[in-house]
Amino acid sequence: MPFYQKQGRIPTKRHIQFSDEKNNLYWEELISRDGFSGIYSNVYHINPPTSLKAIGKFKKSNLISANISHRHRHILTSKLKSTGDCISSRIPLFFNKNIIISKAHAINSMDFLYRNGFYDEVIFIQSGEGNLQTNFGTLKLIAGDFAVIPRGVIWQIDIKKEMKLLIIESASAVETPNKYRNKLGQLLEHSPYCERDIKTPKLTSPIGNNSIDVQVKLMDGIQTYTYHNHPFDIIGWDGYFFPFSLNINDFMPITGKIHQPPPVHQTFQTKDFVICSFVPRLFDYHPESIPAPYAHSNVDSDEIIFYVDGEFMSRKGIESESMTYHPMGLPHGPQPGKIEESIGAKETNELAVMIDTFQPLNITNFSLDIDDEEYPYSWIDK
């Protein structure tokens, strides 16, 4: 995120002597993107962050694409048999080389630390509550939050109320959209959210010298490291690199006289896909407007929509936690009768998250187990 944050105690200059009251030097760590050319933060440890106690076995994992027909899909994710913590309960549903889309039903707190070494993560909290504890501090998570965790952040989630999560892993950085930023990175007046809506972690008291396991996700598996010292032994940090959260209910929709296209709902960008938020909003106010979206063939994007809550005006048979998949090039849009039903409607109360990818997605067998086989025929006027 392109704005400066400072937590705890830091020295007056970077890379100088910084000691405690007993004259013991603190350990400075630079965490940066794009080598030394991107955003970064400097953090200050009580103990060396490099001190390993043991290296565990590498646990290999591969995503496997199902051999299936190419068609529209309706995935009923509420039926997933998912349990465990926020890592073990993850079930991958769609993926390509740039993105992994998973669902998790987490009931247990994590008893280990986790670092994604290959992907940025966006964790959307569909329901439940918990605390995201990180090396930068703690963020309280509630329903509707997007928790954005850049790669390299060390974290765990302490469950307060069972959580249902949509997880998006990105091989490229997750950012605020360029069109909503000025040349210095500040969110503009016409942006649907601003820095006031973004919650940043609050640094807590440093944790002592106890050893702990950190599970590090790599491209094709997880490597466990046991560190001599807990990495949350930080007494201060500052910079532009940190996890943050944004609640979907703080997204202010952009409306118009006629139907507005999906880019007005964009919330985050990456090099490989965008994330959009559909929130309660007033419909169009042209006297002959059609609030329902028009049929659409996007020849360059696959579309995923995760339906969070509310009533979904353009679809029938959709429920909370439904996920629709519309592959690039295949026309999709309102189902029969939905255009006529929408005329005269004044507002919608739908809540949904959309992911548009710029490369085709693969589907996993986990998705096929909860796939509505009749969905491709739902546009037939019966």
Are 141 and 157 in contact by the 8 Å Cβ rule? The answer is yes
Q: Which CATH number fits domain 252-377: 1.10.10.10, 2.60.120.10, 3.40.50.300, 3.40.50.720?
A: 2.60.120.10
CA 246 vs. chain centroid, Å, equals 10
DSSP line for 300-332: T-EEEEEEEES--TT-SS--TTEEEEE-TTS-B
The number of helix segments (H) and strand segments (E) in the chain equals 2, 25
Taking the mean position of all CA atoms in its chain, how far away is CA 168? 5
Predicted local distance difference test score (pLDDT) of residue 1? 67
Amino acid letter, residue 195: E
User: Domain residues of the chain, as ranges?
Assistant: 252-377
Question: Residue 2: its pLDDT value, please?
Answer: 77
pLDDT at 277: 97
What sections of the chain are H helices per DSSP?
A: 338-342, 365-368
DSSP 8-state secondary structure symbol assigned to residue 248: G
Q: Residue 129 half-sphere exposure, CB side, CA atoms within 13 Å?
A: 4
Distance in angstroms (rounded) separating the CA atoms of residues 212 and 97: 31
DSSP string, 179-227: GGB-TTSPBPTTSSS-GGGEE--B--PPP-S--EEEEEEETTEEEEEEE
The pLDDT value given to residue 316: 81
Does the pTM surpass 0.75? The reply is yes
pLDDT of the chain, 382 residues: tens digit per residue = 679 999 999 999 999 999 999 999 999 999 999 999 999 999 999 999 999 999 998 999 989 999 888 999 999 999 999 999 999 999 999 999 999 999 999 999 999 999 999 999 999 999 999 999 999 999 999 999 999 999 999 999 999 999 999 999 999 999 999 999 999 999 999 999 999 999 999 999 999 778 899 999 998 899 999 999 999 999 999 999 999 999 999 999 999 999 999 999 999 999 999 999 999 999 999 999 999 999 999 999 999 999 999 888 788 888 999 999 999 999 999 989 899 989 999 999 999 999 999 999 999 999 999 999 999 999 998 6
What is the pLDDT, as a whole number, of residue 127? 97
Give me the pLDDT at residue 314, please.
81
Contact of 101 with 77, CB cutoff 8 Å: no
CA 167 to chain CA mean position, Å: 6
**Start-to-end Cα distance in the chain:** 49
